[in-house]
């Protein structure tokens, strides 16, 4: 009887109110737990981004719209730059054409001035020849010097001279051969001085040799010290083999 009572008491302790507590735990693997945590974090981040984008839209800011406007602005800027390059090319071409036209106008103006000078010389020659015809009977056998002029040139101390030589009727049957000489009277440092051209070293210069039958236009330059003052210039014409000038003419500056 005691034995039965003891067993009943043990059963009550194991399965009754006084029985020990039992803990039930699931046997889920650790990687499934981490995967669930990652999924939960992803859902939370997506929800936060959606809430943030929704808040910006309510505040008047739409990123897609701004990006669209930025793309449109960049496209317009590219078109404007292309148009600017095209206009610059047109402007450069116009400037080139304008420069060419200006150069052509300057060249044409220079040609016009040259023709005007040539025309003036022809008129002067015509007047000279008419004067020669009227005075040819009185000229005898003297070589004539017409329109002798001397004027300063571009460079300091440089002078340019012009003259026309005409042979008389008595000498037109043969060619006149000779040379030209310029005698310059000048004042330098308070003293009078004389210079002759061509200088001895240039005695055979072709610019001073003469060979013509009816008339000869002569022009050239000579140079003196820029500090000297030219008083007058005399031209002397010598025939070959003679030391006496056949004609002389003097101009005062």
3-state secondary structure of 14: helix
**Tokens, residue 230:** 């030219």
Separation CA 224–CA 71 (nearest Å):
77
Q: Which of 166, 163, 161 is nearest to 129 (CA)?
A: 166
Residue with tokens 């014409």: 237
Higher-confidence residue of 167 and 228: namely 228
Mean pLDDT of the chain: 78
Residue with tokens 């001035």: 113
| CATH 2.60.40 for domain 141-252 | yes
Per-residue pLDDT, 53: 65
Q: What share of the chain is helix, strand, coil (3-state, %, to 5)?
A: 50, 30, 20
DSSP summary character for residue 208? G
Per-residue pLDDT, 235: 94
Question: Can you give the residue ranges of every domain in the chain?
Answer: 28-61, 65-139, 141-252
């Amino acid at each position: 009887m005691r034995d039965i009572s003891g067993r009943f008491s043990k059963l009550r302790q194991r399965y009754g109110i006084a029985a020990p507590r039992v803990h039930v735990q699931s046997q889920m693997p650790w990687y499934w737990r981490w995967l669930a945590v990652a999924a939960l974090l992803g859902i939370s981040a997506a929800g936060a981004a959606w809430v943030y984008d929704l808040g910006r839209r309510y505040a008047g800011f739409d990123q897609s719209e701004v990006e669209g406007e930025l793309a449109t602005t960049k496209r317009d800027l590219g078109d404007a730059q292309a148009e600017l390059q095209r206009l610059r090319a047109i402007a450069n071409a116009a400037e080139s054409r304008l420069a060419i036209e200006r150069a052509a106008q300057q060249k044409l103006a220079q040609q016009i001035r040259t023709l005007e000078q040539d025309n003036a010389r022809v008129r002067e020659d015509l007047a000279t020849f008419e004067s020669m015809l009227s005075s040819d009977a009185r000229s005898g056998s003297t070589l004539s010097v017409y329109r002798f002029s001397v004027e300063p040139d571009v460079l300091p101390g440089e002078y340019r001279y012009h003259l026309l030589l005409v042979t008389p009727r008595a000498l037109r049957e043969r060619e006149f051969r000779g040379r030209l000489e310029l005698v310059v009277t000048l004042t330098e440092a308070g003293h009078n001085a004389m210079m002759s051209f061509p200088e001895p070293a240039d005695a055979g210069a072709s610019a001073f040799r003469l060979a013509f039958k009816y008339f000869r236009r002569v022009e050239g330059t000579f140079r003196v010290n820029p500090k000297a003052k030219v008083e007058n210039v005399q031209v002397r014409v010598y025939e070959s083999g003679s030391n006496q000038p056949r004609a002389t003419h003097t101009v005062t500056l």
